[in-house]
Amino acid sequence: MNGNFHLIHVVVGAWLVLAPLLGIFATFQGLVWNSVIIGAVVGLYNAWYLFGRQQQPVKGSQ
């Protein structure tokens, strides 16, 4: 679980660094789509981390 958490942050961070260099921000529409996609990824992942994780059993407990 922790590995996935860090992997998501690395991927999102790399995208935020590379997107301007790839010309994604050349148009207003590119800015909007970048914000929507990154916002959705971060929001959904954090919602899963906060709410979905609580339903999983903790190691060593019954």
Per-residue pLDDT of the chain (62 residues; tens, 9 = 90+): 555 667 888 888 888 888 888 887 888 998 898 889 999 988 888 888 788 766 556 566 55
Instruction: Considering only CA atoms, give the Rg of the chain.
Output: 16
Residue 42 · residue 12 · CB < 8 Å: yes
In sequence order, the 6+-apart residues with CB closer than 8 A to the CB of 60 are none
The answer to pTM > 0.85 is: no
Kindly list the domain boundaries of the chain, sorted by start residue.
2-55
- Residues 41, 58: Cα–Cα separation, whole Å: 26
- Residues 46, 56: Cα–Cα separation, whole Å: 16
Which element (helix H / strand E) includes 3? helix 2-21
